Amino acid sequence: MGKHLVLKSYLNAWLPILSRWHGRLLIIDGFAGPGEYNNGHVGSPIIALDAALQHRHQAVRDQEIVFYFVESNKKRMEHLKALVDEKYPSLPKNFIVRYASATFDGAMSELLGYVEEQNRQLAPCFAMIDPFGVSDTPMSLIHRILKNPKAEIYISVMYEFINRFLGSREFRPHLDNLFGSNDWCRVQSISDRSERKEFLYGLYKEKLKESRATNAVHFELYKGYRHVYSIFFATQSWVGADKMKAAIWSIAPSGDFVFRGSANDEFDIASPDFNPLINAISEEFANRWVTPKQIAQFVGSDRTIYHSSQFKKNALKPLEKSGRLIIHPDDADKRTRRFTYRDDIRLRIIEEGQNT
């Protein structure tokens, strides 16, 4: 599934970054499932274990990693335990697998208590939250996880389910908990379906940021014309947002899946247009001296749908070719050839139509 391909790609990038941490890494799967499905797809617990065990960086395999799998369905949990025992009969001693036969909400108090007891400073953690509805993922719980500045959350939001029950009085408390307020009620005055969806997505992103996330990346996965998943990724690091967007870009062109982010609903990664990136960088940095390192932080954040590996070739180079980018005279000797941009070089972008 597309969301699992993105997850695998992101974990491959995330693990070596956090392997520099000398304590415990924590990977939470809040709705772990059985580990594999009838269609042959493996579940997120197996993806997480494989990502760590098979990583090419030895530092990742040497790091202490706690995998905390939460599943309320007893049959699915039993299947997951048996599958993990079968696939990994001799896990490294530094890889610890814990199970909780409970709802995600119910298990989180024990989980966060365990982390706080073991570490005065919360360990870096990555929480995967993939519910089948909306009742088990209150914003108050997201807020608790994000109290840890090194925490990141990868969560599915079930828009079709939400939209179906918007008018149900019995469903209102669940939506209040999901969004952390009753602000969602304003959607009832919006008749257009696409505008209604954009309002709810924008509100959810806003609430994630109120819960300490500095970056909230939203993407949707479609199969053909059918909407399959809406994913939100919340982090307090622009690097995390950057790596997630890179993972999305690497996976989305495969198969029938298309990335459609909130910044541009029709954006097709298979045939990308970088003019919006050029315009965004120009608008943000025009007429002042900046470094590529500063631009990378802007591009990598949730303020664009691009990632930082793209802007030098696809934005800075075209800007310089058109005469709209100049290098600081004192930094000219830092370049061995034209159209290369060291992170510490100073450059200036000229507004379109303005003389240099």
CATH number of the structural domain spanning residue 135: 3.40.50
| Nearest alpha-carbon partner for 327 in 315, 314, 305, 342 | 342
Same domain, 96 and 179: yes
Residue 189 has pLDDT above 80, yes or no: yes
pTM of the prediction?
0.91
Percentages helix, strand, coil for the chain (3-state, rounded to 5) are 45, 20, 35
What pLDDT was estimated at residue 264? 46
The parent domain of residue 331 ranges over: 275-349
Domain membership flag for residue 12 = yes
Domain membership flag for residue 265 = no
Q: Please check whether residue 157 is in contact with residue 130, taking contact to mean a CB–CB distance below 8 angstroms.
A: no
Neighbour-count burial of 14, counting CB atoms closer than 10 A to its CB (0-12 exposed, 13-18 middle, 19+ buried): buried
Domain membership flag for residue 81 = yes
What pLDDT was estimated at residue 255? 47
Same domain, 135 and 99: yes
**End-of-domain residue from the set 228, 259, 290:** 259
Same domain, 168 and 42: yes
- What number is the average pLDDT over the span 229-238? 92
What's the DSSP call for residue 286? Answer: B
DSSP H helix total and E strand total for the chain? 14, 11
How far from 244 is each of 134, 184, 185, 218, 248, CA to CA, in Å?
24, 27, 31, 10, 6
What pLDDT was estimated at residue 266? 53
Domain membership flag for residue 76 = yes
Same domain, 115 and 79: yes
At CB < 8 A and 24+ separation, what contacts does 9-12 make?
9/246, 9/247, 9/250, 9/251, 10/154, 10/243, 10/244, 10/247, 11/47, 11/48, 11/51, 11/52, 11/126, 12/51, 12/55
- What number is the average pLDDT over the span 283-303? 97
- What number is the average pLDDT over the span 289-294? 98
Number of structural domains in the chain: 2
Tokens of 35: 């580990």
d(CA 234, CA 208): 7
Sign (positive/negative) of CA torsion 157, 53, 244, 18? Answer: positive
What is the overall mean pLDDT for the chain?
Answer: 87
Domain membership flag for residue 268 = no
Q: pLDDT-derived band of residue 149, with 50, 70 and 90 as boundaries?
A: confident
Same domain, 240 and 292: no
Same domain, 319 and 199: no
